[in-house]
Every structure is written in C-alpha cells, then in structure tokens.
C-alpha cells in the first residue's frame, strides 16, 4: 500500500525572505503568492487529488484553499504540518541575525541545534514524517496534497533520502513549489523536488 503525497510550500507573502515569520504574524498571500498557488492548483488538478491538508498558518491555509477548490475538496488543518517554532527568533528580520553565533550554529548543524526557546529541527521533522507515514498507510483512491513550509519540507525530504539534517539547506524549496513523494509502510521515495512555474 502506497500513497503519492505532494508537498506544497505556501505561496509568497509580503515578508517572505526578509522576516522569520515562523508561527507569528498573520500574513496572507501576496499577489505573487496567489499566482503561485493558482499555478500549483492547476498543475495538481490533473493528479487525481482526493485529500488536501494544510498547516494552521494563514499563508498555508490560503494556498491549500486555492488547491482544494480546483480539486473539489475541502482542506483539513493538520498541526503536524505546522511551521517550525522559531521561539525567540519569531518575527525577527533575517539580516539582523547575521553574526549571531546561535544563528550560525543553527544553519550549519540543524541535526543538533535548537532555536532559542523554540523547537529542534529533529522534533519538527519527526512530527511531520510520522504524519506522512500514517497517510502512506491509508487506502486513498488518489493522491494527497500537504501544504506546509520550506524547512518542514526540506527536513522531510532529507529524512526520506537518508541525509543528515545538516545537509537540508543544500537544496531549495521555493514558494509555491511542489515536491512529490511516494510513501508506504516501507518508507518513502522522492519523485520530484521543488517543481515550480517557469
């Protein structure tokens, strides 16, 4: 028994790439983010999607809503797909963290470091992978879409590829992109990574 799971990173929002939004704020999609969500919905509309899930964050809920509407279903909010809890870094301007030793360690040793007052990358990946493995053990009549966040998707891909989380920043997961896996009781296999509009 296997399930094809399409991991979609939410579309871009106003602070994307500038602020470490995390679980803070309530940013909805920017106009480019809505276009990215529409592209993902169009591409996934031909993939026999029968179930759509979303992280609780507004930017993911809006992206999932666009996809679900095209696929003829309603998105389900799933805590396991939530953004990493960045703790004290939540809402910080990313450029302001340059030179912070904790930030440097975080970005070079994700398998060991922890965000200050927040979540370990290993714990975030464990919760997401456990959920995807559970999806893979169910009998679906088609594929599943999970709308989540860059670090969560990178961590999941690293897990299924057998890579250390220290290597997860060596590949990109761009806003609105689709990364596809096949998941079953035996584990998971990467089908495609970071597919996005040309």
Query: pLDDT 10s per residue in the chain (198 long)?
Result: 899 999 999 999 988 889 999 998 788 999 999 999 999 999 999 999 999 999 999 999 999 999 999 999 999 999 999 999 999 999 999 999 999 999 999 999 999 999 999 999 999 999 999 999 999 999 999 999 999 999 999 999 999 999 999 999 999 999 999 999 999 999 999 999 999 987
Ramachandran region, residue 83 (left: φ > 0; alpha: ψ -120 to 50; beta: rest): beta
**Pairing label, strands 178-184, 143-148:** unpaired
C-alpha separations of 163 from 1, 111, 120 in Å: 25, 10, 17
Residue corresponding to tokens 């896996």: 181
d(C-alpha 22, C-alpha 3), whole Å = 29
User: For 120, which DSSP code?
Assistant: B
Ramachandran region, residue 66 (left: φ > 0; alpha: ψ -120 to 50; beta: rest): alpha
Residues with Cβ within 8 Å of residue 118, at least 6 apart in sequence: 22, 84, 85, 86, 87, 88, 89, 90
- Cβ burial 67-76 (10 Å sphere, 16+ → b, else e): bbebbebebe
pLDDT of residue 87: 96
d(C-alpha 116, C-alpha 18), whole Å = 19
Burial of 164 (0-12, 13-18, 19+ CB in 10 A): exposed
pLDDT of residue 25: 77
Q: In the chain, where do the E strands start and end?
A: 2-9, 49-54, 75-77, 143-148, 178-184, 187-195
pTM for this entry: 0.96
Helix 121-136 with 150-161: angle, nearest 10 deg: 70
């Amino acid at each position: 028994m296997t399930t094809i799971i399409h991991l979609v990173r939410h579309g871009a929002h106003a602070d994307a790439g500038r602020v470490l939004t995390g679980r803070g704020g309530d940013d909805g999609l920017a106009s480019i983010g809505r276009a990215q969500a529409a592209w993902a919905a169009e591409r996934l509309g031909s993939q026999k999607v029968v179930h759509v899930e979303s992280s609780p964050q507004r930017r993911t809920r809006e992206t999932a809503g666009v996809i679900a509407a095209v696929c003829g279903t309603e998105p389900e909010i799933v805590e396991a797909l939530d953004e990493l809890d960045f703790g004290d870094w939540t809402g910080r301007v990313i450029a302001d963290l340059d030179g912070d030793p904790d930030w440097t360690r975080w970005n070079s040793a994700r398998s060991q470091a922890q965000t200050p007052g927040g979540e370990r990358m290993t714990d975030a990946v464990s919760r997401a992978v456990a959920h995807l493995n559970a999806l893979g053990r169910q009998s679906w009549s088609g594929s599943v879409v999970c709308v989540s966040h860059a670090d969560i998707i990178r961590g999941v891909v690293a897990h299924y590829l057998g890579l250390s989380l220290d290597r997860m920043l060596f590949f990109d997961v761009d806003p609105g992109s689709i990364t596809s896996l096949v998941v079953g009781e035996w584990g998971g296999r990467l089908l495609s990574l970071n597919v996005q509009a040309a």
